[in-house]
């Protein structure tokens, strides 16, 4: 849970808020209020006008929690002093940026700005007694850009702590009428924060309107992302960022489903496929391509045949050491060589990807170029392996298509038997239509027999029966 000291001139701004609230109460006019959810109950707070130049963006907002990792240097400065002009400018920049690519301006922000310019502010924001925006950070940024001088805001009670503030922001976001969803990674971070406060999985799942199993899936995904970020560090501040995984929601969910299915059967195979799929995600393959990395992909060894020598870490070359259990004086076997080889390959890709996309000016161009070469080489290898797996999968599908069609036809005939009995019992059978359908079946079986008998010198029992039946029926 993030805690922040009061901003500069907090006491002075708190006094201004108190005066404005008192003026609203004593005016006798109709008072505007905004309703928040507090401890499961509706809570009404007064709405007043406050000068925009005195309001602070909330450094703890869930709206851009993941996007803060876009620039690690500015993020560290923000953690050190969230109220400085530089930190507030960074927050404003992120509020205007596209969530998955903060280097680009978000078109949704421009639409919000145009709407505010045409129609004004419809819904009030929400602030603390120190002037920190709890809800309405993006609106404040848009209002400032169009030159507005003030903003309508509801004021939270003076007793609210940062735990209360974050809970209120979360409840407002998760209302069914919310206007703009948290991005995927920010939702994961919000769930993690709620768990750190001691809330049960059942309570968190209910709050986020998801099933309990989905909650555990989301926590597994966030843990996997954090592990990838740690493994991508190659010295200094060069590493992947949370924001780098914003567009990978469905790919990561499919990975979790595959891993969960395989883990109880063959944990090593599950771990290898997990590493390979994560590598394919990092290399920006489409979801439909990544699906080819499955049990057959593992068994056929498509990737082993495609990797260049520079990336091919053979299983035999990986040194395995037992893992000591602290305090017990015993060791347990390490991961299998296949798992270690898959992790070693993925580690190379992780570090190269982090270096290639880093904005660090201190990194030599040659190092970035070398990293990009590794990424390109790995992508070419995975592309070749996935293409081979896809071709074989299409062949297998064609091979299995005819038997599958016949199995479906058998199921339909079995159901026809039931329908026929019921129709006769109720005397509702259309005998003429049924007879015509049987004649069509005879014609279809003749054509099937003609094709099934071609090129088979020694047909199996099923095909032999079909040929004999067709011959007998013809004679």
What would the pLDDT profile of 335-364 be if each residue is shown by its tens digit?
Answer: 578 999 999 999 999 999 999 888 766 777
Tell me, rounded to whole angstroms, the distance of Cα 109 from its chain centroid.
Answer: 22
Tell me, rounded to whole angstroms, the distance of Cα 158 from its chain centroid.
Answer: 37
Question: Tokens 């496929």 appear where?
Answer: 273
Which of residues 91 and 175 earns the better pLDDT score? 91
- Residue 99, pLDDT > 50, answer yes
- Residue 196, pLDDT > 50, answer yes
For residue 386, CA distances in Å to 295, 340, 368, 381 come to: 13, 21, 27, 9
Q: How confident is the model at residue 237 (pLDDT cuts 50, 70, 90)?
A: low
- Residue 95, pLDDT > 70, answer yes
Report, as an integer, the average pLDDT of 318-327.
52
> Residues with Cβ < 8 Å from 431, sequence gap 6 or more?
none
State how far the Cα of 80 lies from the Cα of 327, in Å rounded to an integer: 39
Lookup: tokens for 23: 């003026």
Provide the β-strand partners of residue 151: 50
Question: Tokens 């060069």 appear where?
Answer: 238
pLDDT value, residue 313? 66
pLDDT value, residue 178? 45
Q: DSSP states of 240-304 as a string?
A: --GGGGTT-HHHHHHHHHHHHHHHTT-HHHHHHHHHHHHHHHHTT--HHHHTT-SHHHHHHTHHH
For 208, the 3-state DSSP assignment is coil
pLDDT value, residue 11? 93
Q: What is the pTM of this model?
A: 0.71
Residue 47 contacts residue 156 (beta carbons within 8 Å): no
State how far the Cα of 174 lies from the Cα of 72, in Å rounded to an integer: 29
Helix 267-282 and helix 365-425, axial crossing angle in degrees, nearest 10: 120
- Residue 25, pLDDT > 70, answer yes
Tell me, rounded to whole angstroms, the distance of Cα 469 from its chain centroid.
Answer: 56
Lookup: tokens for 293: 């990395």
State how far the Cα of 32 lies from the Cα of 121, in Å rounded to an integer: 14
pLDDT value, residue 474? 64
What residue ranges do the domains of the chain occupy?
A: 1-181, 212-315+336-399, 432-474
């Amino acid at each position: 849970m993030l805690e922040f000291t009061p901003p500069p001139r907090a006491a002075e701004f708190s006094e201004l808020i108190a005066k404005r609230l008192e003026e609203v109460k004593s005016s006798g006019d109709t008072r505007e209020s905004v309703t928040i959810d507090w401890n499961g109950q509706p809570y009404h707070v007064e709405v007043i006008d406050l000068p925009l130049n005195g309001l602070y963006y909330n450094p703890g907002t869930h709206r851009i929690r993941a996007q803060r990792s876009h620039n690690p240097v500015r993020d560290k400065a923000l953690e050190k002093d969230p109220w400085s002009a530089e930190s507030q400018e960074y927050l404003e920049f992120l509020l205007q940026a596209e969530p998955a690519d903060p280097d680009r301006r978000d078109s949704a922000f421009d639409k919000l700005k145009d709407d505010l310019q045409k129609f004004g502010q419809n819904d009030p924001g929400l602030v603390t007694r120190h002037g920190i925006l709890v809800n309405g950070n993006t609106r404040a940024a848009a209002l400032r850009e169009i030159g507005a001088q003030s903003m309508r805001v509801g004021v939270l009670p003076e007793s609210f702590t940062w735990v209360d503030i974050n809970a209120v922001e979360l409840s407002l976001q998760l209302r069914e009428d919310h206007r703009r969803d948290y991005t995927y990674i920010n939702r994961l971070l919000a769930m993690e924060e709620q768990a750190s406060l001691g809330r049960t999985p059942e309570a968190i799942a209910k709050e986020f309107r998801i099933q309990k199993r989905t909650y555990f899936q989301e926590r597994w995904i966030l843990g996997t992302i954090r592990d990838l970020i740690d493994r991508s560090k190659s010295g200094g501040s060069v590493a992947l960022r949370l924001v780098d995984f914003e567009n990978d929601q469905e790919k990561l969910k499919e990975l979790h489903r595959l891993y969960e299915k395989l883990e109880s059967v063959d944990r090593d195979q599950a771990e290898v496929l997990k590493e390979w799929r994560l590598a394919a995600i990092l290399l920006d393959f489409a979801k439909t391509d990544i699906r080819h990395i499955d049990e057959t992909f593992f068994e056929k060894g498509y990737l082993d045949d495609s990797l260049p020598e520079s990336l091919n870490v053979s299983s035999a070359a990986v040194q395995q050491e037992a893992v000591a259990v602290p305090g017990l004086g015993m060791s347990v076997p390490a991961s299998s060589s296949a798992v270690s080889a898959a992790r070693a390959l993925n580690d190379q890709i992780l570090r190269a990807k982090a270096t290639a996309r880093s904005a660090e000016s201190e990194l030599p161009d040659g190092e970035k170029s070398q990293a990009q070469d590794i990424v390109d080489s790995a992508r070419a290898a995975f592309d070749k392996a996935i293409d081979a797996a896809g071709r074989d999968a299409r062949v297998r599908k064609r091979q299995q298509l005819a038997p599958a069609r016949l199995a479906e036809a058998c199921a339909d005939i079995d159901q026809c038997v039931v329908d026929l009995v019921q129709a006769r019992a109720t005397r509702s059978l259309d005998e003429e239509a049924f007879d015509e359908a049987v004649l069509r079946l005879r014609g279809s079986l003749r054509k099937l027999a003609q094709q099934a008998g071609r090129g088979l010198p020694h047909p199996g029992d099923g095909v032999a029966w079909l040929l004999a039946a067709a011959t007998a029926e013809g004679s």
